[in-house]
Structure 1
Amino acid sequence: MTVEIRRLTGPEFAVLSPRLVEIYIEAMDYDPAISQSRTDVWRREITQPGFTGLVALDGDAVLGVAYGYLGAPDLWWDRQVRRGIREAGGPDTDQLALMRDYFEVAEIHVRPGHQGRGIGRKLLTSLLWNAPGSHALLSTPEVDNEANFAFGLYRSLGFRDVLRHFFFDGDARPFAVLSAPLPLPGQGLRSPA
């Protein structure tokens, strides 16, 4: 299997969104009934400053998706994380700085049958290479002892806890919110062309 990571334009991402949301639903074990509402959200998010969307391809088969953009206080996810920080007794100085300048990894998903093969690592490192912001922030469902491919990947790339066992409005599962300074370890800035 030869996996290619391909950057999508905003219009390409919008057209492919229904297929990409299927991967999200499968990987997160969500009810397929949310497909259309999630597709609508993903299509709107292509207009966010710093939007970057990627797919992992094996030939014509889409094995994974990742996208993100600059975080901002007027966005739902940012407001949720700020609420969690307040509920945990913050914000402290570091949290204030973090929330002022970050790239939100909105989604990163690999089809379950293809996880553990390095596809998520390729997607995430490609997404964050030269990403705007001083940090990357993401959320992932909590699992016992962090025993899944997602936590292993995030920890190996230097992601640390911001919030643990946090409940986003509308989701019954607890999530971890993690951050990593940018650039990631081993990633330098793109050299001038």
Structure 2
Amino acid sequence: MTVEIRRLTAGEYSLLVPTLVDIYIAAMEYNPAIRDQRIRVWRGEVAWPGFTAIAAVDGDDVVGVAYGFLGSRDRWWDRQLVRSMEESGGITHERQQILDSYFEVAEIHVAPGQQGRGIGAAMLAELLRQAPAAWALLSTPEVKDEANHAFSLYRRFGFVDVARRFLYPGDQRPFAILGRPLPLEL
């Protein structure tokens, strides 16, 4: 069966959040104990300006999720983004332009058994197709030599380094923060 990539309404997304969080936990290999907390957070995301959610559906099964929204100084992630820039060379003119207009790719995950089939690329293309900002930004865990599906996908989409080896509070893994100008033209 062919995987369908579709935009979700806020209501559809909210109803699917438990399934979507399960995909996230499996894909990121997180402890399932975070499930209830993540469900609460994810349901609250629909309130942010520019919220857009995409699902990958294979028959009756949801096998992927991607969502994002406009960056905002009110968000924890924006404060981390500013800190990452300050720690890696400061807020240059280009970095200020990024901060002034970006779409945060908050999450993009494909169920482990479905990875490597182009689902992530299709979801990312649809998520960014009408993103209402000048830049798209995301973060991903660092891996040696960028040797995983995520880095391959982001590089193929033209994402470049904004900050590397950044440590978020409460997570011992270093992350890369990547960005690309919009609109998306593939």
> Partner residue of 2:114?
114
CA distance in 1: counterparts of 2:11 and 2:184, whole angstroms: 28
Cα displacement (A) at 1:89: 2.9
Distance 2:50 2:87 in 1: 29
Match of 1:67 in 2: 67
Instruction: Name 2:156's counterpart in structure 1.
Output: 156
Which whole-Å deviations, capped at 9, do the CAs of 1:11-56 have from their partners, x for residues lacking one? 1111111110000011111110000111111100101000001100
2:10 corresponding residue in structure 1: 10
**Alignment partners' CA distance in 2, 1:175 and 1:82:** 14
Give 1:5 shift: 0.7
Q: Which residue of 1 aligns with 2:142?
A: 142
In the alignment, which residue of structure 1 is the partner of 2:124?
124
Map of 2:95 onto structure 1:
95
Alignment of 1:15-26 (within 5 A): 15-26=15-26
Identical counterparts, % of pairs: 59
Match of 1:46, SS state, is: helix
Partners of 1:118 and 1:90 in 2: how far apart? 36
Moved over 4 A (4+): none
Structure 1: any 5+ residue segments left out of the alignment?
187-193
Q: Say whether the 8 Å CA contact 1:157–1:185 is kept in structure 2.
A: no
Distance apart, 1:84 and its partner CA: 1.1
Question: How many residue pairs get matched?
Answer: 186
Q: Separation in 2 of the partners of 1:117 and 1:43? A: 28
Cα distance in 2, alignment partners of residues 171 and 27 from structure 1: 17
Gaps of 5+ in 2: none
TM-score by length of 1: 0.94
